[in-house]
Amino acid sequence: MRMHIELDDALIQELDAVTGPRGRSAFVRRAIERALEQERRWRALDEAAGALADVGHDWDGDTAAWVRDQRRGDARRAG
């Protein structure tokens, strides 16, 4: 599908310096794909915010000890 996008001349000149005039579409396509993926991640983070209770975690007392125990309990870790 085609769409029309208006951009400033200075922006087009900078784009052409990076991609060349024949690479504009591919560059813009990749930029939009990355921006949409980032937006999906932010939405997922917003939806997950508050999913864990503020208290009652195993790591609440001594976080460093909890992390050490987690690392030692993982057979894939060496040492």
38-63 residue pLDDT tens: 999 999 999 998 887 777 888 888 99
Angle formed at CA 24 by CA 18 and CA 30, multiple of 5 degrees:
90
pLDDT in tens, 11-36: 999 999 999 989 999 999 999 999 99
pLDDT at position 78 over 80: no
This prediction has a pTM of 0.61
**What are the structural domain ranges in the chain?**
1-52
CA distance linking residue 57 with residue 72, whole number of Å: 19
What's residue 79's pLDDT?
56
* Six token digits for residue 33: 């794909």
| 66 and 58 Cβ atoms separated by less than 8 Å | yes
